[in-house]
Structure 1
């Protein structure tokens, strides 16, 4: 069984839609069959994660790990099956995720509040036109 000994990004690039975690030798190591294998950037060297869905996009990427002359290749799908890998990767990328609808919810709340105020003002005007003092006073409390 494989486990992650160390997973640190060499650097992180943030784009509008995704985050790239760039890996480099000495920053990523796996323990397989009680031996430590170091990541070597011969094939893939980045993990691309969608900022909104928080899913890994480059599932077909292939990573190489070396111990002496022995090289083991692992696909991203194999790495994703290792719980340690997902937990550590999630902690690395967590600050860069886009929270679902957080900004949109704020904008929607502002719009709804403004529409509600406009509606109350219209009802106040209607109460004034009808000379309905009781309704007028109740509506004034809502503003």
Structure 2
């Protein structure tokens, strides 16, 4: 029976496309047949998550684990089939999802504010036109100051 005993990133590297969870010695261990195996960075060294789909991209990656002189290899496909691995991975990368959501909300807010400002200026221009049509100098001068 394979279970993930510990999964901690050495560091996390995020860019526009991916969240990369970089692994190192003593930060990742599994329990296999009641024996604890420690991760060794011989084969794969990272977990790569797509920021748009939130799915693990490097499914074919093979991770090496060692206990004494014995080395076992576990594929990413095997690891993502384990609920405890997915739970720990989700807890690690969740702040990066939230950061993206906050950035998206901020961008939407900026766009909304810009649209409202443009609409207000267009409305003032229409009111200036109306003041000119009515030959209302006071209203015209007040509205021009608003632009």
Question: TM-score, normalised to structure 1's length?
Answer: 0.75
Kindly provide the CA deviation profile for residues 63-116 of structure 1, in whole angstroms up to 9, marking residues without a partner as x.
Answer: 112223433222112111111112211222222332273343123212221232
1:25 positional shift: 1.8
Q: Does 1:117 align with 2:120?
A: yes
Equivalent in the alignment of 1:3? 3
What residue in structure 1 maps to residue 64 of structure 2? Answer: 64
- Residues of 1 paired with 2:82 and 2:29: CA distance? 13
Structure richer in helix, relative to its length:
2
Q: How many residue pairs were aligned?
A: 135
Q: Distance in 2 between matches of 1:120 and 1:86?
A: 53
Matches of 1:78 and 1:4, distance apart in 2 = 11
Partner residue, 2:41: 41
Q: Provide the secondary structure at the position in 2 that maps to 1:111.
A: helix
Quote the residue 2:96 is aligned against: 96
Q: Which moved more, 1:101-110 or 1:3-12?
A: 101-110
> What is the CA-CA distance between 1:20 and the residue it aligns to?
2.0
Aligned-residue CA RMSD (Å): 2.7
Unaligned runs of 5+ in 1: none
TM-score for both structures, normalised by structure 2: 0.74
